[in-house]
Structures are given as C-alpha cells and as structure tokens.
Amino acid sequence: MLVAGACGSNDPSPTPDPICEPGKAAECRCPNGQLSSQQCAPNGLEWLDCQCLGGAGSGGSAGSVGGSSGSSQGGSGNAGATGGSSGSGGDGGASGSGGIGGAAGSAGNGGVGGSSGGAGGSSGMSTGGSAGSAGTGGGAGTSGTGGAGPLCPGTHGSPMTKISSTLCVDNTEVTEGHYREFLAAMGGVYTGQPAICSWNTDYGQPLDNYELHLPRTYVDYCDAAAYCKWAGKRMCKPIGSEWLKGYVDPTRNDELQQVCLTAFNRNTYPECASTTLHSVGSLPLCIGSSPNQAIVDIQGNVREWGGCWDPATQSNPVHCDAMGAFLQSDGLDSCETAHWRLTIKTKDDRTGFRCCADPL
C-alpha cells in the first residue's frame, strides 16, 4: 500500500516561487512594538526572524581631537570638538534595558600659544618726525686777541727786546754763564766764522773766579761773532761798514746808538759810570725807558763790540767798533760820542758784547 505524501527524486510536485531576494533586509516590528530588521533567507523562500533581542546600544563615538595649536601671532587655540552624543538604546527584548549612552568626548587641549610678537619696527621713513624745537642761539664769541707781531729769534743767551720792526736787541750783555755754555757746545770747533776771522782758532776759556752773571770780557771781535751766530743771532751793525753794506739803512744811526737813544733819551747817570764791573741789570737807573725798560747797561759796565770795517780799505790789522760808555771812560758819554775803534784781535777787561737780530 502506498503511503501518501512520500516524495522521492522523481517527485512530480512543483517547486514553490521565492518570496524575497536572498540576503535582502527588510523592516520588521518586534513584539514590543519597536522596529527592527529581518533578512531574506538564502533560498529566498522565507524571511528570517526579526532581530528583536534587546542588546545594549553602542556608545557614542569619542570626541574629536582638541583644537589645533595657536597661530604664530599667538592666537588662542581652537576649542576641542564637542563630544559625541550618547548612543540610542538598542531595541531590546522586553527584558532588555536601554543602552548606556557613550561618554562625552574630552575637550581638546587648548592650542599652544604662539611665540612672542616680533619687536616693533622702526618708524617709517616716509612719515615725517615732529619738528625739533628751535636751538638756542650761541653766545657771542669772545673777541680774539691781537697777534703779537714779529717775534725775536735766538735760542741761547739773553732774552731779546724788539725795539722796532727791523731790530731786536739782547736785554743784557753776554754773561760769563752764557759764554761758558757756548764753549761747552762748540767743543773746539772753529768752522763757520766770517772770512776776516779765518785766523781765529781759540774762543778762550772760562774765566777763573769769575761770577756767572758778570759780563763776559777778554773776547775779541771774532769770539763775539761766533757766539752770536751759535745763539741764533748776529752782531750789531754800525753805519758805514762796507762789509755790511746793503744790510743797513744808510739813513739811520748805527743800531746800538738807535737803542741807546730810544732807551735812555741821551740821559746820563753817574751810577752808570761805575769803575767796577757789576752784575748785568743790577743798577736800577741804567735801564731803558718804556717800552724798552728790559734793555739794560747800554751805558755803563763794559763797552760792546759792534761791526768791523771793510778790510780792503783798512791797513792790517782790521779795525772794529766798540760802543757805549763804560767803566773807566771819561764820564758817561752819550751814545753818539762813545765809539772806539779797536783792532779785531783786541781782548781786555773792559770790552764785552751783546747780540742783535732781525725780527722773525
């Protein structure tokens, strides 16, 4: 007997039609009324059970990373993104509790402050600075002192006085102290003398027991000329000397006479006729009158060598002038009459000298 409903490989029953697309999901409603999803079975003939188990909802996603660091200008950092909202509770079964919401994302750390601002730039050149206040006017300048005019030369011996624009004269006669300095400096050298002194090979020696501030005596004309040259000066010139022609104005008195007339006004003083030597400048009345009061002993003390006469017009020996009233002379002669003509080699205890010079 045949059993009803038995099927074999040769079962003639027809294959049922699919009711859904395999793997496709569709919305369904759970017994608790919540919507869920179900999936089509692989054979497409049925829908699988609705996914209604009440599993916990997934937590919200973590908050975004905090804001970026500040810009170089030192702007504040951006705040961190807001944390994700809590997840919705899963559709659970009747017994399932709602899902726990995800923890809020942590706020991002503030951005790191920018570096300190750069140094302020210098003020622009185009913008004009404020006007400076007016300067205080300078005080009036002090008036300059008038120039001293030409000065007298000379590097050794007595200081000089400029008595005119063309003549400087030693204030004193050359002293023993002055002459000793000359002897030490020359050291036995006799070159550089004028031609009329080519014979001179001895300037003398320091005088024994002789005070340094007394006039130097025992000097001939050539000794005196050598000293004045060494001191940066020259011998004083008498008028009429052919040897000095062209250097002296023939219309004026000889130089020492000019000094005497200027300094003493042809006055005579018995004090200046002393018969003994005295220290230069020690007799107060034998000084010049203003402005030449620094010149002393033109009259008195010793007579003084001047220039020599042209040897071509003189018989040997050459004669030279000595000028000025002196000790042992007849009274105190004026400068016009107190002239003596001596041989060039004369050396005695009554004759000394002083130097003259042209102003610088």
Strand duo 351-352 + 356-357: pairing: unpaired
- Higher pLDDT residue, 76 or 167? 167
Q: What is the CATH number of the domain that holds 172?
A: 3.90.1580.10
340 pLDDT higher than 80:
no
CA distance 307 to 155: 22
| Domain contains 262 | yes
CA distances from 44 to 22, 36, 168 (A): 5, 20, 150
Same domain, 181 and 321: yes
| Domain contains 84 | no
Same domain, 43 and 165: no
Angle at 101 between CA 99 and CA 103, to 5 degrees: 145
Domain endpoint, select from 49, 65, 91: 49
Identify whether the C-beta of residue 160 lies closer than 8 Å to the C-beta of residue 152. Answer: yes
| Domain contains 32 | yes
CA 350 to chain centre: 60
CA distance 18 to 23: 12
Domain endpoint, select from 9, 29, 49: 49
| Domain contains 90 | no
Beta bridge partners of 351: 303
CA distance 172 to 260: 13
| Domain contains 59 | no
In terms of residue numbers, what domain contains 45? 19-49
Same domain, 44 and 170: no
Interval 298-314 mean pLDDT: 71
- With bands split at pLDDT 50, 70 and 90, how would you rate the model's confidence at 139? low
- With bands split at pLDDT 50, 70 and 90, how would you rate the model's confidence at 14? low
Same domain, 169 and 311: yes
Residue with tokens 């899902």: 99
300 pLDDT higher than 60:
yes
CA distance 269 to 260: 13
| Domain contains 3 | no
Specify the pLDDT at position 2. Answer: 34
Specify the pLDDT at position 240. Answer: 42
Structure tokens at 77: 């950092």
Instruction: Name the average pLDDT for the chain.
Output: 66
Specify the pLDDT at position 258. Answer: 52
Domain endpoint, select from 28, 49, 70: 49
Look at the chain and report how many structural domains it folds into: 2
91 pLDDT higher than 60:
no
- State whether residue 249 is helix, strand or coil: coil
DSSP 175: B
Angle between helices 221-230 and 176-186 (to 10 degrees): 80
318 pLDDT higher than 60:
yes
| Domain contains 130 | no
pLDDT above 70 covers what percent of the chain? 47
| Domain contains 138 | no
Specify the pLDDT at position 228. Answer: 95
Same domain, 318 and 185: yes
